[in-house]
Amino acid sequence: MNRIENLSRRGFLQGVLSTGAFVLGAQFVPEALLSAPSDGRATADAGLGAAGDPVGATAFHPNVFVGLEPDGTVVIVAHRSEMGTGSRTSLPRIVADEMEADWSRVRIVQATGDAKYGNQDTDGSHSVRSFFEAMRVYGATARTMLVQAAALQWNVPASECQASPEPHVVTHVPTGRTAGYGELAAAAARLPVPPKESLQLKPRSEWRYIGKDASIFDLQDICTGKAGYGMDAHREGMLFASVEHPPVLGGKVASLDDSDALKVPGVRQTVAIEPFKPPHAFQPLGGVAVIADNTWAAFQGRRKLKINWDNGANASFNSDAYRKELEQTVRQPCKVAWNRGDVDAEFAKGAKTLEAGYYVPLLAHASMEPPVAVAEYRDGRVEAWAPTQDPQAVQETVGQVLGVPKENVLCHVTLLGGAFGRKSKPDYVAEAAVLSKKTGRPVKVVWTREDDIKFDYYHTVAAAYMKAALGANGMPTAWLQRSAFPPIGSTFELNNTYGSGGELGMGWTDTPFAIPNLRAENGPAAAHVRIGWLRSVANIYHAFAVQSFAAELAHEAGRDQLDYLLALIGPDRVIDKKNLGADYDNMGADYKDYPVDTARLRRVAELAAEQSGWGKRKLGPGQGMGIAAHRSFVTYVATVVQVEMDQQGKVRIGRVDSAVDTGTVVNPDSVRNQMEGAAVFGASLAKYGEITATNGAINQGNFTDYGMCRINEAPREIHVHIVQSDAPPAGVGEPGVPPFAPALCNAIFAATGKRVRELPLTRSGLA
Amino acid sequence: MIQLTINGVRQSFDGDPEMPLLWYLRDGLGLTGTKFGCGIGVCGSCVVHQNGAAVRACMTPVRVAAGAEIVTIEALGSGHEGGLHPVQKAWMAHNVPQCGYCQAGQIMQAAALLKSTPHPTDADIDQGMAGNICRCGTYQRIRGAIKAAAGEAV
């Protein structure tokens, strides 16, 4: 589905473009975005509005715009959020490439939240995958119309005119006559849009920007302190708020004494925020807000609040006891999510078996910019400025909480100071809106780091149980994997305890091993904290269990870990979707374009190994290498980690080699940067990441007790190897994370003989 | 009334003298390049220069900065070619930032490091930069940019 319209005289982008500009609008709704979401959100969307189907299938809603000013400035609207993955640069570069625009004359304007753009929820590593072809068609349309405008002006056939090799100019080839894009804007604005079938997309060999390294658009602003994040949003006359949330999910204020808080200079008032109505979804947690003249006064006032809480049922949650329950759950038969052959019959034959349990705790996002938002309520309308991954969810949530139509909520998207999934949930924006309505002034809500860590939508806690029967050659004849984790669906639906097809499809119902008998199961687990997406989501605990267990089997078989992993992956083949889990959704990607291709997984494993010096590098005592390979977000990544144990028995991560096959690459430098960052993110969660709870309240609160790698603790050298590929573009932001922790733990085993089955490494004294 | 100089401009502050410099810069003066990250001086997002040394603005009460010369990211490049300090240029040449939120603090810290240690070893960089967290994990590029800027930074 793909419609483009000439909007030059329709007043779109008023204030951004001048009246003489040439403006194209288009509706690009990737089919994947119209299907049900993959990660348990369908329920939520049903409760919140219509985010699952934001665009009518027949009505025309322009969702991407490119404008051309008479002075030659090209304005491209970025409709997805920039949280550090580079999509605000990559998508416009695809348009500019096909348009033959000069990148130095491109200006990027960030879209507000609006259903007319289609899905804007910047998650799931699919901005480039879902919009690559659309952006190309879009740029080609603009180029074609500019060529036609020039041809008409010169009264020559359009076939004699072209828009390359010099960018931003149309040339009449026989005469060498040229016209700049800016000069052609007015004429192009009067032309009809050519049908898609008539467009000629550029061949790969003529790509100007796609596949070439580029700096991100906001680079200089970031390095000079000018870039605008949510934390920097400002409205004249705004007040500042800091919110004391119930320490336990679902808690309520039993009594409040704010007399001391009100004595703090600069504090104006306190405002109660109502508790949410279950399920909590994206609603504010409730609590008491301190409203002040500046952030500091609001923080100080909050410390003086005296609140007695009615903690409610979740006060029974203790993470240590809960872990035991989860581990018991996976020791019993659970719901079958995927089955091949008959593992029970194979186990009953009495061959040698191996069992192991794995555990990954709750994790927090801890983006450097804590949740923050500015909102202004006036006459039934709300204007918000927020670092959000999903401005339409802001519209829906704010509309729901304030009882105004979502169309009356305007959400400006700032740059995001990191997000990692946290900022897909707009509870903090709704807080600002509630407080603005109650105070009659624009309000900025600033979460402290403690608020961020204690009131996150956590990456879920997970236990896994693995069992395999080994044949005569040491390869498994049967493989059973069971997991249990409070699902993301619990955030949107009461009593939701099983993993969704989307969550299980992240490394549990698509294990690409050539094993004749294989069964994946999933057990129930109730949530006692808010659960949400975190960079690479369920792949983290699934890949940890699968890739660790694979290495355990290799050891049992007395084989090299790489060789054994390659044997498990087996012969090169494209796996028939029928042979994957019944609910396997492939991250919404069309399976025919993005099948599970074991040759690609094998190739990244071999490439990472080769580049790391696997099997050739001389390792001293206390040194070791480990590998893991995992497909997620329809991208293939293998990571080799080299470690050395120091004199205190702590692990030091030396060199990392990550090989990635993500199909066609738009910006190789962005891919390298994301893969480097994923290694650090993986190292952080493996070494230090752990959220625990006592009587329902979270024990951690800042970087002092929720640690993450600093420069001296991060991998020292990260080498990224990109597989050259003409396959369709796949995900980049997340897939580097899942293989890291198992590769690290496999390396620790190689170095020490000690098998790590629980994260983080601080639990076993290794970090 | 507390007098101090911020980015070359004399300022008079008459608020709570215990207010951290961070919030005076951000809420009082609109200098938002200096970021709030942890509030307890352990992440480095708020690093500014006080009389040339790197300090955590979130842990520096305004009274402590009385009479001091404060430089923030907005003015780091003043007087340098193109308005960019060599560390900023190196950061750009290495495409260091991802989300970018911590980078003002990283750059201010690196500039202070290079002032005291013009040719830092890896160990110097570890020690000098360990107080700055980057959640996106750009440390390898930070290290490379610091090495590239070494010797040029003043």
Residue A86, in any domain of the structure: yes
Chain B residues touching residue A446 (CB < 8 angstroms): 36
Give the one of B34, B95, B142 whose C-beta lies nearest to A215's C-beta. Answer: B95
The residue in chain B having the minimum alpha-carbon distance to the alpha carbon of residue A371 is: B37
Cβ pair B99:A84 closer than 8 A: yes
Q: Is B141 on the interface with A (CB under 8 A)?
A: yes
Check whether A144 has a pLDDT greater than 60: yes
Chain A residues touching residue B136 (CB < 8 angstroms): 84, 368, 418, 677, 680-681
Q: State which of A446, A473, A490 marks the end of a domain.
A: A446
Check whether A100 has a pLDDT greater than 70: yes
Residue A75, in any domain of the structure: yes
Give the one of B15, B42, B139 whose C-beta lies nearest to A680's C-beta. Answer: B139
Residue A494 is given by DSSP the state T
The residue in chain A having the minimum alpha-carbon distance to the alpha carbon of residue B28 is: A294
Number of folded domains that form chain A = 3
Q: Nearest-5° angle of CA A373, CA A379, CA A381? A: 45
Q: Is B148 on the interface with A (CB under 8 A)?
A: no
Q: Is A237 on the interface with B (CB under 8 A)?
A: no
Residue bearing the bigger pLDDT, A33 or A547: A547
- Taking the C-alpha atoms of residue A446 and residue A239, their distance in angstroms, rounded to an integer, is 11
CATH number, domain at A178? 3.30.365.10
Please give the average per-residue pLDDT across A280-309, as a whole number.
98
Burial grade of B117 (CB within 10 A; 0-12, 13-18, 19 or more):
middle
Q: Which CATH class is domain B2-75?
A: alpha beta
- CA–CA distances in Å: residue A528 to residues A298, A305, A317: 29, 26, 6
Predicted local distance difference test score (pLDDT) of residue A50: 30
CA nearest to A673, candidates A114, A215, A329, A52: A215
The rounded percent of chain B whose pLDDT value lies above 70 is: 99
Examine the domain organization and report whether A397 and A505 are in the same domain.
no
Examine the domain organization and report whether A122 and A22 are in the same domain.
yes
CA nearest to A560, candidates A511, A625, A618: A625
Check whether A236 has a pLDDT greater than 50: yes
Examine the domain organization and report whether A630 and A491 are in the same domain.
yes
Predicted local distance difference test score (pLDDT) of residue B153: 65
Please give the average per-residue pLDDT across A204-232, as a whole number.
98
Examine the domain organization and report whether A699 and A736 are in the same domain.
yes
Cis amide prior to A247 (ω within 30 degrees): no
Residue A59, in any domain of the structure: yes
Cβ pair A294:B43 closer than 8 A: no
Examine the domain organization and report whether A122 and A139 are in the same domain.
yes
pLDDT tens column, A688-719: 999 999 999 999 999 999 999 999 999 999 99
pLDDT tens column, A302-331: 999 999 999 999 999 999 999 999 999 999
pLDDT tens column, A476-522: 999 999 999 999 999 999 999 999 999 999 999 999 999 999 999 99
Cβ pair A708:B135 closer than 8 A: yes
Tokens of A36: 């049900």
For residue A461, give how far its alpha carbon lies from the nearest alpha carbon of chain B (Å): 21
Please give the average per-residue pLDDT across A363-383, as a whole number.
98
Tokens of B128: 């000098």
Check whether A48 has a pLDDT greater than 50: no
- Would you list the DSSP string of A12-52? TTBTTB-TT-EEEEEEE--HHHHSPPSSSHHHHHHHH-STT
Tokens of A616: 């050739």
Under the banding of pLDDT at 50, 70 and 90, the label for residue A118 is confident
Predicted local distance difference test score (pLDDT) of residue A49: 26
The rounded percent of chain B whose pLDDT value lies above 90 is: 97
Under the banding of pLDDT at 50, 70 and 90, the label for residue A45 is very low
Region of poorest pLDDT, from A20-24, A430-434, A689-693: A20-24
Interface of B with A in 97-116 (CB under 8 A): 97-104, 107
Predicted local distance difference test score (pLDDT) of residue A16: 64
Under the banding of pLDDT at 50, 70 and 90, the label for residue A9 is low
Examine the domain organization and report whether A53 and A80 are in the same domain.
yes
- CA–CA distances in Å: residue A11 to residues A18, A20, A65, A467, B115: 10, 11, 12, 63, 53
Please give the average per-residue pLDDT across A339-355, as a whole number.
97
Please give the average per-residue pLDDT across A108-130, as a whole number.
89
Examine the domain organization and report whether A46 and A106 are in the same domain.
yes
Q: State which of A197, A223, A249 marks the end of a domain.
A: A223
What are the counts of helices (DSSP H) followed by strands (DSSP E) for chain A? 19, 28
CA nearest to A271, candidates A292, A300, A297: A292
Residue A167, in any domain of the structure: yes
Q: State which of A413, A446, A479 marks the end of a domain.
A: A446
Q: Is B82 on the interface with A (CB under 8 A)?
A: no
CB atoms closer than 10 angstroms to residue B107: 31
Does the ipTM surpass 0.90? yes
Under the banding of pLDDT at 50, 70 and 90, the label for residue A622 is very high
Predicted local distance difference test score (pLDDT) of residue A193: 85
Residue A452, in any domain of the structure: no
Examine the domain organization and report whether A147 and A211 are in the same domain.
yes
Chain A residues touching residue B129 (CB < 8 angstroms): 710-712
Q: Which CATH class is domain B81-149?
A: mainly alpha
**Mutation site for B-interface testing, chosen from A232, A303, A368 by largest number of B Cβ within 10 Å:** A368
Q: Is B1 on the interface with A (CB under 8 A)?
A: no
Examine the domain organization and report whether A397 and A463 are in the same domain.
no
Chain A residues touching residue B104 (CB < 8 angstroms): 222, 225
Examine the domain organization and report whether A66 and A188 are in the same domain.
yes
Predicted local distance difference test score (pLDDT) of residue B38: 98
Mapping DSSP onto H, E and C, the string for A628-696 reads EEEEECCEEEEEEEEEEECCCCCEEEEEEEEEEECCCCCCHHHHHHHHHHHHHHHHHHHHCCCECEECC
pLDDT tens column, A629-652: 999 999 999 999 999 999 999 999
Cβ pair A223:B107 closer than 8 A: yes
The rounded percent of chain A whose pLDDT value lies above 70 is: 93
Domain regions of chain B by residue span: 2-75, 81-149
Predicted local distance difference test score (pLDDT) of residue A21: 76
Predicted local distance difference test score (pLDDT) of residue A28: 47
Examine the domain organization and report whether A522 and A599 are in the same domain.
yes
Q: Nearest-5° angle of CA A735, CA A736, CA A741? A: 115
Under the banding of pLDDT at 50, 70 and 90, the label for residue A22 is confident
Q: At residue A525, what is the residue type?
A: A
CB atoms closer than 10 angstroms to residue B124: 16
Examine the domain organization and report whether A527 and A632 are in the same domain.
yes
CB atoms closer than 10 angstroms to residue A621: 9
Residue A451, in any domain of the structure: no
Considering chain A, what is the average pLDDT of its residues? 92
Please give the average per-residue pLDDT across A230-257, as a whole number.
98
Residue A723, in any domain of the structure: yes
- Taking the C-alpha atoms of residue A270 and residue A630, their distance in angstroms, rounded to an integer, is 50
Q: Is A416 on the interface with B (CB under 8 A)?
A: yes
Predicted local distance difference test score (pLDDT) of residue A26: 60
For residue B104, give how far its alpha carbon lies from the nearest alpha carbon of chain A (Å): 6
Predicted local distance difference test score (pLDDT) of residue A194: 87
Chain B residues touching residue A220 (CB < 8 angstroms): 92
Chain A residues touching residue B103 (CB < 8 angstroms): 222-223
Boundaries of domain holding A84: 2-223
Dihedral pair phi/psi, residue A5, rounded to 5°: -135, 145
